[in-house]
Structure 1
Amino acid sequence: MLLENKTAVIYGGGGSIGGAMARGFAAEGARVFLAGRTPAKLDAVAAGIRDAGGLAETALVDALDADAVNGWVDSVVETAGSVDVSVNLISHDALFGPLIEVSADDFARSMEKIARTLLLTTQAAARHMVKQGSGVILYFGGSDSGNRMPGLGNVQIGCDMVEAMRRQWACELGPHSVRVLSMKTGGIPESMGDAPEMDAVKQQMADATLTKRAATLTDVGRIAAFLASDHAASMTSTQVNISAGAHVD
């Protein structure tokens, strides 16, 4: 197994993407610790992993609270002996629309949320990973450098912030054998629910790919597990494009 005897922490582990990564990690032998704010969703993901023979635990953690984040990661290390993979999938506050119409206060709050949660969760994992001399920090939702689409408000800018943090963390943690990566998709139709009004949007996502097949949640989990494994030991400071050609680097 790719992640046997590894420990993974996932913020937003009760969501569709977080759950997919948790299942992917657990299927490859990792012990997964899921954090979030909705017990029912976390418990559902953990139960599915346990039913499949995997190891999963849950905790209510505010990923914007430094004491909560650091205390939880410290407890994970005390329990499992290490933290080998850290993933932050906390949802961002999307503000769609022309930037000229966006409230400065709303924009500032949304950017602060992204910056704060990524900084806190990465710091908490990095403290232990530097001591270990190993680890992988994985971000999701890499930016499209060729963006030419108006009306995205803070969305593209937020993704660009994630990429900037990924680059800075990678160069600072690299000498300690800690890798930092991000994943970029053209959208995951399965994560958008079953509402009929979303069918056209899902089809557009598939049509935008070269293969006419958008990435699935299973794809996300499998690729994330590979990136977190030693099979990807030479990969860091880059975003991994799983958009099936919808985005061209």
Structure 2
Amino acid sequence: MMLLENRIAIVHGGSGSVGSAVARAFAREGATVHLTGRTRATLEDVAERIRAAGGVAHVDVVDVVDRDAVERHAAAVAERHAGIDVCFNATFNDDIQGTPLVDMAVGDVMQPVAKAVTSTFNVATAAARHMVDRGRGAILVMGGGREAIPDLGGSHVAWAAVAGLCRQLAAELGPHGVRVAWLLSPGSPNPGELGTGEAGTREPGTDGPGQDRPSQEEQDPEAGRLLLPRRPSYDQVANAAVFAASDWAATMTATEINLTAGAVID
């Protein structure tokens, strides 16, 4: 059984590492996927991979900070398919990192906050209007940032603001059957840690008799702050997104999905 069979999904930031993995997973589980981003060529590369695997993908160039453009795209998708079932935002927040806050300009700190809140607000409300009409839908956002890590500029502030926005959206959209959740990841997920395959499973021959198993630090240089040996792979993040978008998560809203491998403890 495919978890997203006959669902219509929009993936904003569909050519990025997370967005493309989520788009492929949605298509694998039966969804028709609409990819958006600012560069058509990279979006088409992802779409071709989806089509080659037997999935259905469409591509549109959309700037998520342009509310009118986002609204037009959502309306076109909804008209084409008689609705929208899933909206996933994996767009980049234009972070400026590497400098202590005391040495940063206010504008540099606020840049990722403004981008994150604007993009999430635009894509979520545009999709929600069409979801409310049908009494169902799932809005998902890639988030992060409950660890205490220095020199990340406005990144943590941006993620905290997005979490607050998602809670507010969930409170207002819940009575209409629309769910809102955000995925918490420990920084950038590792797509190919030492000794692991793309989906995070150990490759044959890397952990057999007579072979040394890599240390936690060798598997993941940030493993010291994790409870598990490594951060999630992009495919593992995508699988969590599939679950969150599916009917298996029908009672989950205003919820953070913790994928931090124990870096954040709930």
TM-score (norm 1): 0.91
Q: Which residue of 1 aligns with 2:145?
A: 143
Q: Is the 8 A contact 1:92 1:113 kept in 2?
A: yes
Q: Which residues of structure 2 form unaligned runs of 5+? A: 194-216
- Between the aligned partners of 2:234 and 2:219, the Cα distance in structure 1 is 14
- Between the aligned partners of 1:201 and 1:114, the Cα distance in structure 2 is 33
- The AA in structure 2 aligned to 1:16 is S
Q: Which residue of 2 aligns with 1:172?
A: 172
Question: Is 1:48–2:45 an aligned residue pair?
Answer: no
Question: Is 1:186–2:186 an aligned residue pair?
Answer: yes
Residue 8 to residue 52, structure 1, CA distance change in 2 (3 Å): same
Question: Is 1:163–2:180 an aligned residue pair?
Answer: no
Deviates more, 1:224-233 or 1:200-209: 200-209
- Between the aligned partners of 1:59 and 1:191, the Cα distance in structure 2 is 29
- Between the aligned partners of 2:111 and 2:44, the Cα distance in structure 1 is 30
Shift of 1:89: 1.2
Shift of 1:175: 0.5
Larger Rg: 2
Q: Is the 8 A contact 2:144 2:156 kept in 1?
A: no
Q: Is the 8 A contact 1:189 1:202 kept in 2?
A: no
Q: Is the 8 A contact 1:181 1:240 kept in 2?
A: yes
Alignment of 1:1-249 (within 5 A): 1-96=2-97, 97-144=99-146, 147-187=147-187, 188-190=189-191, 203-249=220-266
Q: Is the 8 A contact 2:111 2:154 kept in 1?
A: no
Shift of 1:142: 3.1
- Between the aligned partners of 1:127 and 1:243, the Cα distance in structure 2 is 32
- Between the aligned partners of 2:110 and 2:156, the Cα distance in structure 1 is 14
- Quick one: higher RCO (CA 8 Å, sep 6+), 1 or 2? 1
- Between the aligned partners of 1:109 and 1:4, the Cα distance in structure 2 is 38
User: Secondary structure of 1:110's match?
Assistant: helix
User: Secondary structure of 2:227's match?
Assistant: coil
Shift of 1:245: 1.2
Task: Give deviations 1:25-55, integer Å, cap 9, x for gaps.
Answer: 1111000000001112101110011011000
- Between the aligned partners of 1:140 and 1:218, the Cα distance in structure 2 is 14
Q: Which residues of structure 1 form unaligned runs of 5+? A: 193-199
- Between the aligned partners of 1:112 and 1:209, the Cα distance in structure 2 is 30
Shift of 1:207: 4.5
- Between the aligned partners of 1:235 and 1:126, the Cα distance in structure 2 is 16
Task: Give deviations 1:54-100, integer Å, cap 9, x for gaps.
Answer: 00000001111111101011111111221100011110121222211
* More helix as a share of residues: 1
Shift of 1:102: 1.2
Residue 201 to residue 133, structure 1, CA distance change in 2 (3 Å): farther
User: Secondary structure of 1:87's match?
Assistant: strand
Shift of 1:139: 0.7
Task: Give deviations 1:98-148, integer Å, cap 9, x for gaps.
Answer: 21111122233332222211111111011001111000000112331xx33
